């Protein structure tokens, strides 16, 4: 019976079932890279990203906004709230 | 997370039914793969999404505030606007002014210094944090 994915703000992702391996190998542990948390009073890391703005597709560079106050807002996906 | 193409579809198909404006008045960026979310510490590796992180960055490019909220709960926009107004006042004061709890434009601003130590109660009352 197919299971319906929960509808929420998360992004349902595919799960790939691995074929049984013929030879037993030691499990490799993929290390998650740790990122230093943003610090208050430190420079915001610069980046460039594709964007949709004023009915145009464009590229936004954070450092182009020096001299202005910036609200940088992350959200899980379109069709969810802010 | 979504591509700029999905952003356009959202603006055209859903936002247009919520507001009369035809566009969003700020750029909608795409963080495909979560590379920006990772450096800002808001990318959820297990769910493959950026959580609701919000950063206030001043004109020098310095982070002055951030907030992080799990995806199912939406944010309070007036609080973000209030913080921007407070930070702008503090910045204009060049270190001479501070905004106490519950501050809004027009309400009491503190001027920290030796004379204020132990005397905040004379200029600020607890009820001001809640109105």
In whole angstroms, what is the distance from residue B11 CA to residue B24 CA? 7
Q: Reduce the DSSP state of residue B47 to 3 states and report it.
A: coil
Chain A residue numbers with beta carbons less than 8 Å from the beta carbon of B50 are 74-76
- Asked whether residue B96 is domain-assigned, the answer is yes
Mean pLDDT of B6-35: 89
CB contact under 8 A, A42 and B52: no
Task: Give CA separation, B38 vs A37, A45, B106, in Å.
Answer: 9, 11, 38
- Asked whether residue B116 is domain-assigned, the answer is yes
DSSP B21-36: -SS-SS-EE--GGGHH
Show the tokens assigned to B19: 């507001």
Mean pLDDT of B19-40: 91
Nearest to B52 among A11, A44, A74 (CB): A74
Show the tokens assigned to A29: 């542990």
- Asked whether residue B61 is domain-assigned, the answer is no
Report the domain count for chain B: 1
Chain A residue numbers with beta carbons less than 8 Å from the beta carbon of B62 are 41-44
Give Cα B59 distance to the centre of its chain: 15
Q: For B87-118, what is each residue's pLDDT tens digit?
A: 999 999 998 999 999 999 999 999 998 888 88
The reported pLDDT for the residue numbered A24 is 60
Q: For B40-79, what is each residue's pLDDT tens digit?
A: 999 999 999 999 999 999 999 999 999 999 999 999 999 9
B110–A contact, CB cutoff 8 A: no
Asked if ipTM goes beyond 0.90, one says: no
Min distance B21 CA to chain A CA atoms (Å): 11
B18–A contact, CB cutoff 8 A: no
pLDDT bucket at B85, cuts 50 / 70 / 90: very high
Chain A residue numbers with beta carbons less than 8 Å from the beta carbon of B66 are 38, 40
The reported pLDDT for the residue numbered A20 is 67
Strand partners, B69: B52
In whole angstroms, what is the distance from residue B26 CA to residue B37 CA? 19
Mean pLDDT of A39-56: 94
Domain span holding position B127: 76-131
B65–A contact, CB cutoff 8 A: yes
Show the tokens assigned to A66: 């020096």
In whole angstroms, what is the distance from residue A31 CA to residue B7 CA? 33
The reported pLDDT for the residue numbered B66 is 97
Q: What is the DSSP letter of B11?
A: I
Q: Is the pLDDT of residue A69 over 90?
A: yes
B82–A contact, CB cutoff 8 A: no
């Amino acid at each position: 019976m197919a299971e319906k994915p929960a509808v929420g703000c998360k992004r349902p992702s595919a799960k790939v079932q691995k074929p049984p391996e013929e030879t037993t190998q030691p499990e490799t542990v993929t290390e998650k890279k740790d990122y230093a948390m943003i610090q208050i009073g430190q420079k915001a890391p610069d980046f460039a990203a594709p964007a949709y703005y004023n009915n145009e597709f464009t590229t936004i560079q954070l450092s182009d906004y020096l001299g202005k106050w910036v609200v940088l807002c992350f959200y899980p996906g379109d069709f969810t709230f802010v | 997370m979504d591509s700029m193409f999905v952003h356009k579809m959202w603006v055209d198909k859903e936002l247009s039914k919520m507001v009369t404006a035809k566009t969003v008045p700020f750029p909608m960026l795409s963080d495909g793969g979560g590379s920006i979310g990772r450096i800002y510490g808001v990318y959820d590796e297990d769910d493959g999404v950026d959580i609701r992180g919000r950063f206030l960055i001043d004109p020098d490019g310095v982070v002055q505030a951030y907030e992080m909220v799990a995806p199912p709960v939406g944010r309070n926009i007036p609080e973000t606007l209030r913080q921007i107004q407070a930070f702008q006042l503090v910045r204009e004061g060049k270190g001479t002014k501070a905004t106490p709890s519950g501050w809004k434009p027009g309400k009491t601003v503190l001027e920290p210094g030796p004379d204020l130590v132990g005397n905040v109660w004379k200029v600020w009352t607890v009820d001001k944090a809640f109105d």
